Amino acid sequence: MEIQFLGTGAGQPSKSRNVSSLALKLLDEINEVWLFDCGEGTQNRILETSIRPRKVSKIFITHLHGDHIFGLPGFLSSRAFQANEEQTDLEIYGPVGIKSFVLTSLRVSGSRLPYQIHFHEFDEGSLGKIMETDKFTVYAEALDHTIFCVGYRIMQKDLEGTLDADKLKAAGVPFGPLFGQVKNGQDVTLEDGTKIIAADYISAPRPGKVITILGDTRKTNASVRLAVNADVLVHESTYGKGDEKIARKHGHSTNMQAAEVAREAGAKRLLLNHISARFLSKDVSQLRKDAATIFEKVHVVKDLEEVEI
């Protein structure tokens, strides 16, 4: 499981940072890629990665500001051109209005897709659990921006325990069908009458990962709730230390506020994203150093960077 950042800039693209988009790569888990936001130029960034557009099965939109959605029509159209691959449907989750934006863009441009888009729109009254499969659950909660905006909490369900093959072999179980039965939780009896209790050879279920991906927001309690005990918290850092007043005015957070959220939530790692173009390389280093005085395990991400979870 990895996160790859396709655009880490705030508001408008710069020479070093494109606008908002990131990919949650779940290839080992479910052979899918989930996209979070799709700012202008996202498909160009994807060309510089190993991501295959057809593997993108779900797109989650945090809010309808242009730097988070203007790349959608282009990406959806280009996704249709993978003629040598099977056409697969796609799901889009986002605030009310995302369906109208996408369909209007496709209609006006005369674009026809050979696959279906299934829209899941929500407003402030229909948040909470927005998606569940046999392996993942996704929750959304309203943040505090200048327009309706959400954060997402992606929870991987607990993983099955692993079989201690060496211990099983030492107990006299021959490798073969009996191994498979024990792995499946079935007790077995050996030829000499020895009873093998499967639970004694299988570790306890392992907790799944928790990933929190926030949209644009002022510091808010909702951010903390979404990030409780998260393995990774992706939080915007449009502004830096001392910029609290202007951050609040424009509906954003500083690096210090993001660090406070991570500390209060008990998150394991904080990834600072959505960086203003006014921060140059030396400034970005300072963003991390300042935030680290509040939350040590912090990192400022850059475009195309891949982070293993």
Whether 67 sits among the annotated catalytic residues: the reply is: yes
Question: Is a pLDDT exceeding 80 seen at residue 86?
Answer: no
CA dist 97 and 122 (Å) reads 9
Classify residue 138: in a domain, yes or no.
yes
Classify residue 257: in a domain, yes or no.
no
Q: Are residues 114 and 194 in the same domain?
A: no
Q: Which structural domain range is residue 185 located in?
A: 165-200
**Angle, CA of 41, 45 and 47, to the nearest 5°:** 120
Most confident of 141-150, 157-166, 275-284: 141-150
Q: Are residues 194 and 105 in the same domain?
A: no
SS3 47: coil
Per-residue confidence at 82, pLDDT binned at 50, 70, 90?
low
Classify residue 242: in a domain, yes or no.
no
Q: Are residues 154 and 169 in the same domain?
A: no
Q: Are residues 148 and 97 in the same domain?
A: yes
Q: Are residues 154 and 172 in the same domain?
A: no
CB of 213 within 8 A of CB of 152?
yes
Q: What is the reported pLDDT for 176?
A: 79
Q: Which is the catalytic residue, given 37, 67, 243, 303?
A: 67
**Residues with Cβ < 8 Å from 112, sequence gap 6 or more?**
80, 106
Classify residue 114: in a domain, yes or no.
yes
Residue 96's CB is within 10 A of a number of other CB atoms, namely 14
CA dist 10 and 167 (Å) reads 53
CA dist 137 and 132 (Å) reads 4
Q: Are residues 133 and 191 in the same domain?
A: no
Pairing between β-strand 136-142 and β-strand 128-132 as defined by DSSP bridges: antiparallel
**Quick one: tokens of 56?**
């993108």
Q: What is the mean pLDDT of residues 54-82?
A: 94
Q: What is the pLDDT of residues 248-276, one digit of tens each?
A: 999 999 999 999 999 999 999 999 999 99
Residues in binding site for Zn(2+) = 63, 65, 67-68, 145, 216, 274
Amino acid of residue 48:
E
Q: What is the reported pLDDT for 52?
A: 92
Classify residue 37: in a domain, yes or no.
yes
**Residues with Cβ < 8 Å from 183, sequence gap 6 or more?**
163, 198, 202
Q: Are residues 173 and 101 in the same domain?
A: no
Residues in binding site = 63, 65, 67-68, 145, 216, 274
Q: What is the reported pLDDT for 180?
A: 79
**Domain boundary pick from 173, 200, 227:** 200
Q: What is the reported pLDDT for 84?
A: 63
Burial class (CB in 10 A: 0-12, 13-18, 19+), 301: buried
Q: Are residues 96 and 192 in the same domain?
A: no
CATH of the domain at 29: 3.60.15.10
Residue 12's CB is within 10 A of a number of other CB atoms, namely 14
Tell which residue, 199, 203, 222, has the closest CA to residue 212.
222
CB of 21 within 8 A of CB of 38?
yes
Classify residue 15: in a domain, yes or no.
yes
Q: Are residues 84 and 187 in the same domain?
A: no
Q: What is the reported pLDDT for 102?
A: 97
Q: Which of 24-33, 80-89, 177-186, 207-216 has the lowest mean pLDDT?
A: 80-89
Q: Are residues 121 and 154 in the same domain?
A: yes
CA dist 33 and 207 (Å) reads 21
CA dist 186 and 153 (Å) reads 35
Q: Are residues 66 and 136 in the same domain?
A: yes
Classify residue 60: in a domain, yes or no.
yes
Q: Are residues 31 and 98 in the same domain?
A: yes
The residue assigned the tokens 């959605």 is 69
Q: What is the reported pLDDT for 85?
A: 66
Q: What is the reported pLDDT for 132?
A: 96
Q: Which of 9-23, 166-180, 206-220, 289-303 has the lowest mean pLDDT?
A: 166-180
The residue assigned the tokens 């897709």 is 113
Q: What is the pLDDT of residues 164-182, one digit of tens each?
A: 888 888 888 887 788 878 8
What pTM did the predictor assign?
A: 0.88
Number of domains in the chain: 2
* Bridge partners, residue 213, by sequence: 152, 234
CB of 24 within 8 A of CB of 5?
no
Q: What is the pLDDT of residues 119-146, one digit of tens each?
A: 999 998 889 999 999 999 999 999 999 9
Classify residue 63: in a domain, yes or no.
yes
Q: What is the reported pLDDT for 174?
A: 80
